């Protein structure tokens, strides 16, 4: 196949600004998708320290980048260097995807949108009562998108009271959902009215027994149990929930879908998630 470069020897540029960028597989997924779709774009994974973030954003402007992802630790700090925010990014208070729209850099948050797309393939969000384990950046993005999609009630379960109460207040004050904070200081039992339980903590990454302070027997058949962990995709949390008859949702879909959404923002093209998913599994050694 010959790539159609439209008579141009210049690629449109996209990429990622983060610290600890060596371990970020997004570049492999996105570049595979660009190639599969004959898009004359490149994705550059950049190591950017916090004191370099403003200069990096100015550099992206100067080089007419189509946009970039922001990962840890830049998702909040980057906002001051952008020209505006999308609705959910403004609510979440964090940006993981900047988009060049007519010369202005607009901040979006595709983390929650990526999760929501996977979620909606299994069940509607409307009217759902949801247990959210954790209250960090991923939890915040997921909760806002689910609330905007019609989820009605949240239990925010977190060890840090300050962060948990902050997310609870955000949901109560800025969305039509109601939320209740639960301090996670003992083994947590899923309430009888909950239909969905989402692990948004990093505890699944160790994938060992005894690390997750949950009464797994409180998970009932017919519930949906979701995890944001990518590697391993089948976590101890999902294994235990599945044994109790819950439908399980891995974190791989969230990562792939948020990249698909980012590519659409940057290129205007709807790409096939399969190209990204296949490459992600390959580079993680899971294919």
Which tokens in the block code for residue 90? 């403004």
Strands 188-189 and 214-215: parallel
The SS3 assignment for 114 reads helix
Cβ-proximal residues to 223 (8 Å cutoff; 6+ apart), any chain = 190, 194, 195, 196, 197, 241, 244, 245, 246, 247
Rounded CA gap, 228 and 230, in Å? Answer: 6
Q: Which of 35, 58, 66, 75 is catalytic?
A: 75
Q: Are 138 and 228 in contact (CB under 8 A)?
A: yes
How many alpha carbons fall within 13 Å on the CB side of residue 147?
A: 29
**E strand map for 73-150:** 84-85, 97-101, 104-108, 129-133
Strands 97-101 and 104-108: antiparallel
Residue 66 designated active-site:
no
CB atoms within 10 A of CB 148: 19
Rounded CA gap, 150 and 128, in Å? Answer: 8
Rounded CA gap, 54 and 86, in Å? Answer: 20
The residue behind tokens 């906002």 is 79
Active site residues: 75
């Amino acid at each position: 196949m010959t790539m159609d470069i439209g008579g141009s020897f210049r690629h449109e540029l996209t990429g990622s600004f983060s610290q600890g960028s060596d371990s970020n597989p997004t570049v492999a997924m996105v570049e595979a998708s660009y190639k599969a779709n004959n898009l004359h774009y490149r994705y550059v994974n950049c190591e950017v320290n916090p004191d370099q973030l403003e200069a990096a954003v100015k550099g992206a402007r100067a080089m007419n980048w189509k946009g970039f992802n922001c990962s840890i630790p830049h998702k909040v700090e980057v906002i001051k260097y952008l020209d505006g925010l999308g609705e959910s990014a403004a609510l979440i208070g964090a940006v993981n995807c900047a988009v060049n729209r007519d010369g202005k850099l607009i901040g979006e948050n595709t983390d929650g949108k990526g999760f929501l797309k996977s979620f909606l393939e299994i069940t509607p969000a409307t009217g759902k009562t949801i247990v959210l384990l954790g209250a960090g950046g991923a939890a915040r993005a997921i909760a806002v998108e689910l609330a905007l999609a019609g989820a009605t009630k949240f239990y925010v379960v977190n060890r840090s009271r300050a962060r948990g109460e902050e997310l609870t207040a955000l949901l109560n004050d800025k969305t039509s959902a109601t939320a209740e904070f639960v301090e996670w200081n003992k083994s947590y039992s899923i309430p009888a009215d909950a239909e969905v339980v989402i692990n948004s903590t990093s505890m699944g990454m160790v994938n060992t027994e005894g690390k997750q302070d949950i009464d797994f027997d409180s998970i009932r058949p017919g519930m949906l149990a979701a995890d944001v962990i990518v590697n391993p995709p089948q976590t101890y949390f999902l294994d235990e929930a599945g044994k109790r008859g819950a439908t399980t949702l891995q974190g791989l879909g969230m990562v792939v879908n948020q990249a698909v959404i980012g590519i659409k923002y940057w290129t205007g093209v709807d790409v096939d998630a399969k190209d990204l998913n296949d490459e992600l599994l390959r580079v993680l050694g899971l294919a």
